Chain A
Amino acid sequence: MLTVWLVVTAVFVVLRSTGDPVRLLLPEDAPLEQVEALRRELGLDRPIPVQYLRFWSRAISGDLGESLRFHQPASELVLARLWPTAQLGLVAFLLSAVSGLTLGVVTALSRGTAFDRVIMAAMSLLQASPSFFIGIVLILFVSVRLGWLPSSGSGSPRHLILPAVTVALITMASLARLVRSALLEVLRADYVRTARAKGLAEHAVVVRHALRNASLPVVTVLGLELAALLTGTVVVETVFAWPGIGRLAVEAVAVRDYPVVQAVVLVVTIVFVVINFAVDVSYILLDPRVRHV
């Protein structure tokens, strides 16, 4: 709760310290009297502490204010964007988690071989590529050249594939590298040698002893990645014209649409806090040591 309060407050103050939504809403040559009149009407002429109190007193009853740009409740706008964002985030997360884990484990076990080197080089390259580059290359090949999938927009599962793959590729790359190094670390540990020495089958060694112990850093990163994906991937949403929460936030910041920015920040912070909590809980399940602290 403290986190949520701190973040929302910081954003509230920072937003108001630069830029002027009223000048942006009206034509640039609008007379100053009209600018002032609109400022009064929107309640933006009051001192920031007053605006701040008003924001919270309304927020508590679920009213996050009306978008200056769309003239409709900010909460409605954010909620309308949540589902597309969640769709994209979850699909990308599943794709990247499965492929990242698999690649990480396989390369760790085949460490030093040509296969390992090729995959790891590819992962480094992917991780270093900006997502808009990957996105536009996919559009050019899959969409324009091959004509298999639509280049942008939303509304059908086919529209979801390219953006999800774009997001997943990058997340997969970092995940694979992380899993590989975590697993390699563990495979050198004494208890793994012990397990092998007592004659356990290799898959049992890897799955029961090594993987489980390598999972802590991986789960932490997975949690963060999930939170990041669920709260919007601005660049990919922009490239694929995906109606997600990230794009909403960025466009709202640009025109200083305060209520929308605050609503997005509130929702995003809550998602982060919830997922962090879930990750902490999973430690307890995965690591017996934590239980005894």
Chain B
Amino acid sequence: MVQGVTLARRQLLQRSLLGLSGMAAGMLLAACGQDGSSGAAPAPASSPAANQSLGNPTAALATPAMPAATTVTGQTPTGRLSELRVALPSMPPQLDPQRDWWLVMQRVYGMVYNQLIRRDWSRNGELVPGLARSWERIDETTIEVVLRDDVVFHDGSPLTAEDVAFTFERTLQGDPELSATGRFPIAEIEVLDRHRLRFVTETPDGAFELRLTKHEASIVPKAYLERVGPQRFQREPVGTGPYRVVEFVPDQRIVLEANEQYFEGRPAADRVVVVAIPEVGTRVAALLNGEIDILVDLPPDQVAVVEQAGGFRVDSFSPLNANYLIVNGLKPPTDKAEIRQALSLAIDRQAIVEQLFGGHGLVPGSVQSIFDPLYVERPPLAYDPERARQLLDQAGYSGEEITFLFDSPTYYPLQREWVELMAGMWRNVGLNVTLHGVEVSQRVEFQRPDTPYHLINNSTGVEVDIVLYKSYGPNSLHQKLFPAGYFDDFNQIVEQARVTVDNRERARLYQQALDIMNEKVMVIVQFTINRLQAMPEKIVLGTDPDFRLDLSPRNFQVRA
């Protein structure tokens, strides 16, 4: 379609320059491996988790100003595509949603699977029925779920309560190869009849409904999985989603066909072909050329290139993910709260978001996302270099070296640039920070008690129900690795919040925990970088902060 694009010479030049800058990042990735894409990279927001009883939506709690998100509801389209081509930076190595959920896998899970409950992003992420027709809290620890009775798996078998029970029992068996192991605090699952079952949680768990919306809560077919075994299932997956996998060529392509019996209606494209184009510049060229229809993870510096070409729409949206720095609270000088505060106050986050990301990002007030069901608005993290200098004086800081470990090659777009900008800002207030780039595989190894580093870059999911207890709480890896002395109050609060079912009360408790996190600077939250997706104007695809490519007809349409 865009075949005939002719470009003025100048545009072409600009484009190639832009392409090159994107490429520099891409090349680095390629050269050292680890592309974010390639996999192990931080699958953002992968924690499972928790929350909210939808039954009594406390939804009023959170009404963040929503960044412009494309939502598809209410449209009456409706053209069709015979084939939709999607380019990812790398191919998902496998498609068992409970085994792993790296970013590239999450994209495809949005086509193949459903969960009992889903978040409706056109309504600020409200929890709405998915495969469950309804759910209800019987008591503090018991949730009863009623399933839809019109859902069939791709192999033709109907969805029953047995499949749901099987799905969650899989995570309770201690299988270390399933990343979903231990993600659901379930004591017991009771199948009541063909379409009804009860979950009994180990302790009261206000976050259970939220956990049911996550990738690892994707419902898998019991009979089929038991028949083919987990190995084959990874490549011949069967779900309930709008598309079924018909061909899986490892590392080359995945071909999917529309599920004509999909319970939310007939999907808008007959076939979907997923391919990998690792290099950003090439991915953009392929979109402009009409070789692919959906480009995900467009870096912010490439937006102008796509927009100038004409005929394309770029959607920019905030994901359930935040970038932050782990701060070593055991090792001088970052064992002093003043130093940690100064490190945080010295960063002009707004400038980085505006200048470097072209405004495609936001500065949060804590690690919590605006899309958290328990979100409570708070002012963006402060930038105050004067105060930072004062704090350094108070702490008697005299230029001791602070070491900062970051991913190289980088995973996030423009990460090297923002790391260097931050280093400059720190230097401006007199902090002596030295940068050390290492591969991701080594960076994760340096997250240990005797780490020689003070700051380590990382990213996290951002729903308090999911991350505060699990990632930073008393039994978290974080506290085992950095058992600094400032966790006591925090631990008490998150312990209490974890077993509080009432949403308002839990939200209040978590705000206290976030206050402590900010005050003690347990981590240095940086910003949330928007995700960008680009496609021809006739394709309408709702954005999903939880990283799915949700191709159900309510979210994906083609204009006639």
Q: Which A residues lie at the B interface, using CB under 8 A?
A: 18-21, 23-32, 34, 37-38, 40-41, 67, 69-72, 77, 80, 132-133, 136-137, 139-141, 143-145, 147, 150-154, 234-235, 238-241, 243, 247-248, 250-256
Number of interface residues of B (CB under 8 A): 69
Tell me whether B3 is interfacial, beta carbon within 8 Å.
yes
Residue in contact with B38 in the complex, picked from A132, A235, A254, CB distance below 8 Å: A254
Cα A20 to Cα B252 with chains together (Å): 26
> B288, A144: Cβ atoms under 8 Å?
yes
> A241, B291: Cβ atoms under 8 Å?
no
> B281, A72: Cβ atoms under 8 Å?
no
Which of chain A's residues have a CB closer than 8 A to the CB of B30?
234-235, 238, 247, 250
Tell me whether B40 is interfacial, beta carbon within 8 Å.
yes
Q: Which of B1-35 contact A (CB under 8 A)?
A: 3-7, 12, 15-16, 19-20, 23, 26-27, 30-35
Tell me whether B285 is interfacial, beta carbon within 8 Å.
yes
Cα A132 to Cα B476 with chains together (Å): 43
Which of chain B's residues have a CB closer than 8 A to the CB of A20?
441, 444-445
New A-B contacts (6) at CB < 8 Å, excluding given A29-B471, A32-B477, A241-B275: A20-B441, A40-B176, A144-B285, A152-B277, A153-B277, A235-B31
> B177, A38: Cβ atoms under 8 Å?
yes
> A241, B250: Cβ atoms under 8 Å?
no
> A251, B441: Cβ atoms under 8 Å?
no
> B441, A243: Cβ atoms under 8 Å?
no
Tell me whether B293 is interfacial, beta carbon within 8 Å.
no
List the A residue with the shortest CB-CB distance to B36: A254
> A140, B33: Cβ atoms under 8 Å?
no
Cα A256 to Cα B443 with chains together (Å): 13
Please name the 7 residue pairs, one residue from A and one from B, whose CB atoms are nearest each other, closest first.
A254-B33, A19-B441, A254-B34, A37-B176, A24-B40, A238-B30, A38-B176
Known: A20-B441, A239-B281, A251-B90. Is A147-B34 also a contact (CB below 8 A)?
no
Minimum CB–CB distance from A130 to chain B (whole Å) comes to: 8
> B282, A254: Cβ atoms under 8 Å?
no
Max count, chain B CB within 10 A of own CB: residue among A18, A40, A241, A250: A241
Which of B42-50, B160-168, B220-228 has 4 or more CB atoms under 8 Å from chain A?
Answer: B42-50
Chain A interface mostly helix, strand, loop or mixed? helix
Which of chain B's residues have a CB closer than 8 A to the CB of A143?
285, 289
A-B contacts, 6 listed (Cβ < 8 Å): A27-B46, A70-B251, A140-B285, A150-B289, A152-B279, A152-B282
Cα A26 to Cα B48 with chains together (Å): 13
Cα A31 to Cα B15 with chains together (Å): 45
Minimum CB–CB distance from B357 to chain A (whole Å) comes to: 23
Cα A71 to Cα B445 with chains together (Å): 23
Which of chain A's residues have a CB closer than 8 A to the CB of B285?
136, 139-140, 143-144, 151-152
Which of chain A's residues have a CB closer than 8 A to the CB of B7?
144-145
Minimum CB–CB distance from B173 to chain A (whole Å) comes to: 12
> A31, B289: Cβ atoms under 8 Å?
no
Q: Could you mark each residue 28-72 of chain B with 1 if its beta carbon is under 8 Å from any beta carbon of chain A, else 0?
A: 001111110011101100110000000000000000000000000
Which of chain A's residues have a CB closer than 8 A to the CB of B203?
none
Cα A154 to Cα B291 with chains together (Å): 12
Known: A28-B444, A147-B4. Is A253-B33 also a contact (CB below 8 A)?
yes
Tell me whether B403 is interfacial, beta carbon within 8 Å.
no
Tell me whether B94 is interfacial, beta carbon within 8 Å.
yes
Minimum CB–CB distance from B2 to chain A (whole Å) comes to: 9
Which of chain A's residues have a CB closer than 8 A to the CB of B100?
25
Q: Which of B270-306 contact A (CB under 8 A)?
A: 275-279, 281-283, 285-286, 288-289, 291
Residue in contact with A150 in the complex, picked from B6, B32, B288, B291, CB distance below 8 Å: B291
Which of chain A's residues have a CB closer than 8 A to the CB of B6?
145
Known: A18-B442, A20-B445, A239-B282. Is A140-B477 also a contact (CB below 8 A)?
no
Minimum CB–CB distance from B159 to chain A (whole Å) comes to: 26
Residue in contact with A238 in the complex, picked from B231, B278, B440, B458, CB distance below 8 Å: B278
Minimum CB–CB distance from A30 to chain B (whole Å) comes to: 7
Residue in contact with A235 in the complex, picked from B27, B43, B277, B440, CB distance below 8 Å: B27
List the B residue with the shortest CB-CB distance to A40: B176
Minimum CB–CB distance from A25 to chain B (whole Å) comes to: 7
List the B residue with the shortest CB-CB distance to A240: B282
Minimum CB–CB distance from A293 to chain B (whole Å) comes to: 42
Tell me whether B93 is interfacial, beta carbon within 8 Å.
yes
Q: Which of B226-259 contact A (CB under 8 A)?
A: 231, 234, 250-252
Which of chain B's residues have a CB closer than 8 A to the CB of A136?
16, 19-20, 23, 281-282, 285
Cα A18 to Cα B440 with chains together (Å): 11
Cα A156 to Cα B176 with chains together (Å): 41
Which of chain B's residues have a CB closer than 8 A to the CB of A243?
251-252
> B286, A151: Cβ atoms under 8 Å?
yes
Which of chain A's residues have a CB closer than 8 A to the CB of B16?
136-137, 140
Which of chain B's residues have a CB closer than 8 A to the CB of A34?
176, 181-182
List the A residue with the shortest CB-CB distance to B4: A147
Minimum CB–CB distance from B436 to chain A (whole Å) comes to: 14
List the B residue with the shortest CB-CB distance to A33: B176
Minimum CB–CB distance from A164 to chain B (whole Å) comes to: 16
Which of chain A's residues have a CB closer than 8 A to the CB of B196?
none
Tell me whether B179 is interfacial, beta carbon within 8 Å.
yes
Known: A23-B445, A69-B93. Is A28-B470 also a contact (CB below 8 A)?
no
List the A residue with the shortest CB-CB distance to B231: A71
Minimum CB–CB distance from A45 to chain B (whole Å) comes to: 12
Q: Which of B149-165 contact A (CB under 8 A)?
A: none
Cα A144 to Cα B283 with chains together (Å): 11
Cα A86 to Cα B441 with chains together (Å): 31
List the A residue with the shortest CB-CB distance to B13: A140
Which of chain B's residues have a CB closer than 8 A to the CB of A140?
12, 15-16, 19, 285
Which of chain B's residues have a CB closer than 8 A to the CB of A240?
279, 282
Minimum CB–CB distance from A100 to chain B (whole Å) comes to: 25
Minimum CB–CB distance from B292 to chain A (whole Å) comes to: 9
Tell me whether B170 is interfacial, beta carbon within 8 Å.
no
Minimum CB–CB distance from A158 to chain B (whole Å) comes to: 12
Which of chain B's residues have a CB closer than 8 A to the CB of A77?
250-251
List the B residue with the shortest CB-CB distance to A137: B16
Tell me whether B439 is interfacial, beta carbon within 8 Å.
yes
> A254, B476: Cβ atoms under 8 Å?
no
Cα A153 to Cα B20 with chains together (Å): 19
Which of chain A's residues have a CB closer than 8 A to the CB of B288?
144
Cα A256 to Cα B41 with chains together (Å): 12
Cα A34 to Cα B23 with chains together (Å): 37
Tell me whether B427 is interfacial, beta carbon within 8 Å.
no
Minimum CB–CB distance from A139 to chain B (whole Å) comes to: 5
Which of chain A's residues have a CB closer than 8 A to the CB of B286?
150-153
Which of chain A's residues have a CB closer than 8 A to the CB of B275?
153, 241
Which of chain B's residues have a CB closer than 8 A to the CB of A29?
47, 460, 470-471, 476-478
Which of chain A's residues have a CB closer than 8 A to the CB of B470?
29
Minimum CB–CB distance from B20 to chain A (whole Å) comes to: 7
